[in-house]
Amino acid sequence: MEPQYQNLYDILANSQGYIFPNEIDLQWGILIVVYPFITGLVAGAFILASLERVFKVKILKPTYQIALLTALSFLLVATMPLISHLSQPQRAYEIMITPHSSSAMAIFGFVYLWYLAVVLLLEIWFDYRHSMVVWSNEKKGVMKWVYKILTLGVSDISPQALKWDRKLGYIITVVGIPSAFILHGYVGFIFGSIKANPWWSTPLMPIIFLFSAMVSGISLVLLVYMIISYFRKKTIDLNVLDAIGKYLFFVLILDFTLEALDQIHRIYVAEESFEIIKLLVSGKLYLTLFISQGLVGTLIPLITLAFLQFYKHKIKVRKTMYFIVGILVLIGVYSMRWNVVIGGQLFSKSFSGFTSFKLGLIGLDGTLMAAFWLILPIGILTFLLWLLPPWKMVDEEE
Partner 1 sequence: MSQSASTMGNEKIGSSRRKFLKSAVTLAGATIGYTWLKSSQILIFAAEPKDETLPWYGIAIDIEKCIGCGSCAKACKNENDVPKEPFFFRNWVEQYTVKNDGTVDIVSPNGGIDGFVQRVPDEDIFKSFFLPKMCNHCAKSPCEQVCPVGATFLSPEGVVLVDEKYCIGCRYCVQACPYGCRFIHPVKKVANKCTLCYHRLKKNLAPACMEVCPTGARMYGNLRDKQGPLVKFLKEHTTQVLRPNLNTGAKLYYNALSSEAR
> Is residue 158 part of the contact set for partner 1 (CB under 8 A)?
no
> Is residue 389 part of the contact set for partner 1 (CB under 8 A)?
no
Closer by beta carbon to partner 1, 99 or else 360: 99
* Beta carbons of 356 and 32 less than 8 angstroms apart: no
Closer by beta carbon to partner 1, 86 or else 359: 86
> Is residue 22 part of the contact set for partner 1 (CB under 8 A)?
yes
Interface with partner 1 in residues 115-134 (CB under 8 A): none
Q: What is the DSSP letter of 17?
A: E
* CA dist list (Å): 246 to 58, 60, 220, 262: 14, 12, 15, 25
Residue 97 to residue 186: CA distance in whole angstroms? 20
Q: Which helix (H) or strand (E) holds 353?
A: strand 353-354
- Let me know the angle formed at the C-alpha of 335 by 64 and 10, rounded to the nearest 5 degrees: 145
Site mask, partner 1, residues 182-221, x = CB under 8 A?
A: --------x--xxxxx------------------------
> Is residue 104 part of the contact set for partner 1 (CB under 8 A)?
yes
> Is residue 6 part of the contact set for partner 1 (CB under 8 A)?
no
Query: In the set 58, 91, 233, 313, which binds partner 1 (CB under 8 A)?
Result: 91
Q: Is 101 left (phi over 0), alpha (psi -120 to 50) or beta?
A: alpha
CB of 362 to partner 1, least distance (A): 19
Closer by beta carbon to partner 1, 24 or else 281: 24
> Is residue 106 part of the contact set for partner 1 (CB under 8 A)?
yes
Count how many residues are written for the chain.
Answer: 398
Q: In the chain, where do the E strands start and end? A: 16-17, 353-354
Sign of the alpha-carbon dihedral angle for 31, 33, 35, 41: negative
> Is residue 103 part of the contact set for partner 1 (CB under 8 A)?
yes
CB of 273 to partner 1, least distance (A): 10
Site mask, partner 1, residues 326-365, x = CB under 8 A?
A: -------------------x--xxxxxx------------
Closer by beta carbon to partner 1, 24 or else 261: 24
> Is residue 3 part of the contact set for partner 1 (CB under 8 A)?
no
Q: What is the dihedral of CA 198, 201, 206, 212, to 10 degrees?
A: 0
Q: Which helix (H) or strand (E) holds 354?
A: strand 353-354
Residue 30 to residue 72: CA distance in whole angstroms? 22
CB of 375 to partner 1, least distance (A): 25
Of the listed pieces 99-107, 122-130, 134-142, 213-221, which binds partner 1 according to CB under 8 A? 99-107
- Give me the DSSP letters along 300-349: HHHHHHHHHHH----HHHHHHHHHHHHHHHHHHHHHHHHHHHTHHHHB-T
Residue numbers of the site for partner 1 (CB under 8 A)? 2, 4-5, 8, 12, 17-18, 20-25, 27-28, 85-89, 91-92, 94-95, 98-106, 108, 190, 193-197, 345, 348-353
